[in-house]
Structure 1
Amino acid sequence: MASSSRVDYEINSDPFDPECVIASFNALLGELTEKEKLLLERIRGKEDNTSPKYTDQEERDLINKQIRKSQGFDVDFSKFRCLFDFYPSFLDERHSTLIRETDRRFFGRLAQESIAGYNTREGTSFKFVEVDKANLYRNRGYTYFITFVAKDSCDQTRVFQAKVCNVFCREIEHSFCRLKPGQKGECDEDSKRVVKKPRYNTRSNKRLGVTMNVS
């Protein structure tokens, strides 16, 4: 089981934990098929003399290092010549035949649910604008790392990150939603949050529901 001290946005790399995220090779044996080569070129871009060349194991170590460092949201796929089970979404296509809409619309709905939960928790009023990108990890279903844009009540945009699990492609679980780390400036919404003060009984000048024993 995962350690109780692990923060939810930290990447779990314990292979014995069902929530583990470790990129592995899609194909362990043989050459890539023509279809796989075309897919790799779409993910990585065309290879030229300046493209980095690593061994397969070096690539595996590098992609997992990037996943851990960015918590799964920012990976430079141009560095890899191997296909992994962690890869970027093509937003105008469908990543699964079980989904009846494009990834852009699908991840947009998940992002709207995520920002709604964030607003409830933080007392803000951000509104979803658009999906910027999404990374997918396929293992016992999918784990989605969605980067999206939302705007505050002053129409200023902020970048958010949401991690969502699609358990066995049936059940959606929202792990977390947060402002992308490292953004400059204070969020305007922060100064507009309403902090609820404890209610007091005006007759007794004591909090409601609290009694005192008088000897």
Structure 2
Amino acid sequence: MASSSRIDYEIISDPFNPQCVIAGFIPLWRDNEKEKLLLERIRGKEDNTSLKYTPQEERDLINGQIRNSQGFDVDFSMFRCLFNFYPSSLDESHSTLIRETDRIFFGRLAQESIADYNIKEGTSFDFLEVEKANLYRSKGYIYFITFVAKDPCHQTKVFQAKVCNVFCREIEHSFCRLKPGQQECDEDSKRVVKKPRYNTRSNKRADVGDILRD
């Protein structure tokens, strides 16, 4: 796995940058049952929702929430339109190339992220569980994973990790951080630093996402 030395908390909006994140519409064609089911899972059946915003207003709102939370906290219940930025259903798989649930898949990425964090910060957190994950789908995926980890004294903290699968060539761990608003790690968290179990310089192709065809 490749690990980025550049910490980029802010959302990139330059469309020429491969890590750009700007939510756009996914068209709902009459025979596109997969996308219709995805939309229904996100915001419920259409009969249970009322029109509050125009499609353009919805696009502005979702991109505002993405920027303000750096991609981690978006209220998807507000939107009737389907965007290429959406929440994971953790007990399902977001890709036909993955033979495990998102809970297991993102759990593995979170373990790799917290291992990197431990090395850089001198801490010894152990991954516990994934709380949620948001996905941005373009010519690859960018994952925004929120997860829980514990220190040697069994105190828990909530972490956020951004993981990129740009052009589906390789996984890049962009950053892992404590979720903003929490107290910084104390000395009890800085005991035994565990080395990651994966090769941070690997350039192997990542078989983790579908490539959207233009």
TM-score (norm. length: structure 1): 0.79
Asked if the contact 2:84/2:137 (under 8 Å) is kept, the reply is yes
Structure 2 residue aligned with 1:205: none
* Pairing 1:1-215 to 2, within 5 Å after superposition: 8-27=8-27, 33=32, 35-46=34-45, 51=50, 53-183=52-182, 185-189=183-187, 192=190
Deviation at 1:60, TM superposition (A): 0.3
Closer, same or farther: CA 151–23 of 1 in aligned 2, 3 Å: same
Closer, same or farther: CA 179–190 of 1 in aligned 2, 3 Å: farther
Closer, same or farther: CA 192–167 of 1 in aligned 2, 3 Å: closer
Q: Which runs of 5+ in 1 are unaligned?
A: 1-5, 195-215
Deviation at 1:100, TM superposition (A): 1.9
Asked if the contact 2:149/2:157 (under 8 Å) is kept, the reply is yes
Map Cα deviations across residues 155-201 of structure 1 (whole Å, 9 max, x no partner). Answer: 01100000001123341100000000012x4433477479xxxxxxx
- Cα distance in 1, alignment partners of residues 19 and 63 from structure 2: 15
Deviation at 1:118, TM superposition (A): 0.2
Deviation at 1:51, TM superposition (A): 4.6
SS in 1 for 2:171: strand
Asked if the contact 1:12/1:19 (under 8 Å) is kept, the reply is yes
Letter aligned with residue 23 of structure 1: A
Closer, same or farther: CA 98–50 of 1 in aligned 2, 3 Å: closer
Q: Which runs of 5+ in 2 are unaligned?
A: 1-5, 193-214
Asked if the contact 1:114/1:162 (under 8 Å) is kept, the reply is yes
Identity of aligned residues (%): 82
Deviation at 1:93, TM superposition (A): 0.9
TM-score (norm. length: structure 2): 0.79
SS in 2 for 1:16: coil
- Cα distance in 2, alignment partners of residues 20 and 48 from structure 1: 34
What's the RMSD between the two structures over aligned residues? 2.3
Larger RCO, structures 1/2 (Cα 8 Å, 6+ apart)? 2
Asked if the contact 1:152/1:188 (under 8 Å) is kept, the reply is no
Asked if the contact 1:152/1:189 (under 8 Å) is kept, the reply is no
Letter aligned with residue 88 of structure 1: P
Query: How many residues get paired?
Result: 187
